[in-house]
Amino acid sequence: MTQDPIELTRGLLETTAVLRNGFLDVLGESTASPAPTFAQRAMNSPFVATVYERLWRPTSFYVASGVTARAERRRAASALRLATASRLLDVACGPGNFTGPLASELPDGGLAVGFDISEPMLTRAVLDNGGARTCYVRGDARTLPFADETFDAVCCFGALYLMPEPFLVAHEMVRVLAPGGRIAVLTSYAAGPPPLRHVLTGGAHLIGLTMFDRHAFVDLFSSAGLVDVEQQTQRALQFIVATKPG
């Protein structure tokens, strides 16, 4: 018999959670999220949450990378080796635009947990990308509420550049990754010659976005002991994938 994904996920959480609007909330009754920058405030807006998956995301990421949403999903499923994974954690999942489709790539009995801090995004995720293998959790990615080595695939797409402590979040992702598991990140890339790069980096900073160089996450994953670290750069985005040794 298939187990309820909410109860399965509750069993993985290291802290108590209330069920609200179809997602588990480890931040308690408070619906406020830290939103000190323009970019973070946008992610807490019900309007942005509504138009994000069909309009905002495909348009802005295609312009930034030249890669379509469908190609991104194929790349993610393959990089994370979902055909042989049983538990996926999608950090900063937004409206579940990767969580839902990636859940369907897991074998029978698989579980995909989408994790985000924004209540409007998670409300959309439950409505648009729910399913028998999917559960959504509201929390802060700086302290993932899961034990070490819980998931055999962990990803974070289109979000680390919004966060005030992206490297702390990346270390948390490595911590909850099981030996032999795969981790994948899609984030910003400060491309181009120095003058242009500095203008773009400064402009992004004004709205609360960080532009990372090509070494930032490659070095972090290598220093954390991960192997098979691979990187693709496409215009203003970079995709990095790595394995935790078994």
Ligand X SMILES: C[S@@+](CC[C@H](N)C(=O)[O-])C[C@H]1O[C@@H](n2cnc3c(N)ncnc32)[C@H](O)[C@@H]1O
List of residues contacting ligand X (CB under 6 A):
43, 57, 92-94, 97-98, 116-118, 121, 140-142, 157-159, 162-163
Instruction: Tell me how far, at minimum, the Cβ of 2 lies from ligand X, in Å.
Output: 26
CA 235 to chain centre: 20
Q: Give the DSSP letter of residue 111.
A: E
- Nearer Cβ to ligand X (171/180): 171
- Tell me if 146 sits within 8 A of 89, measured CB to CB: yes
Q: Name the residue whose CB lies closest to ligand X.
A: 94
Alpha helices in 18-147 (DSSP H): 38-43, 46-51, 57-65, 69-79, 99-103, 119-129
CA 172 to chain centre: 12
- Nearer Cβ to ligand X (128/180): 128
Instruction: Tell me how far, at minimum, the Cβ of 94 lies from ligand X, in Å.
Output: 3
- Nearer Cβ to ligand X (37/201): 37
HSE-up of residue 174 (Cα within 13 Å, Cβ side): 22
Determine how many CB atoms are found less than 10 A away from the CB of residue 160: 24
- Nearer Cβ to ligand X (180/232): 232
- Nearer Cβ to ligand X (29/108): 29
**Structure tokens, 14:** 């290291």
Instruction: Tell me how far, at minimum, the Cβ of 171 lies from ligand X, in Å.
Output: 13
CA 226 to chain centre: 18
Instruction: Tell me how far, at minimum, the Cβ of 158 lies from ligand X, in Å.
Output: 3
Instruction: Tell me how far, at minimum, the Cβ of 195 lies from ligand X, in Å.
Output: 28
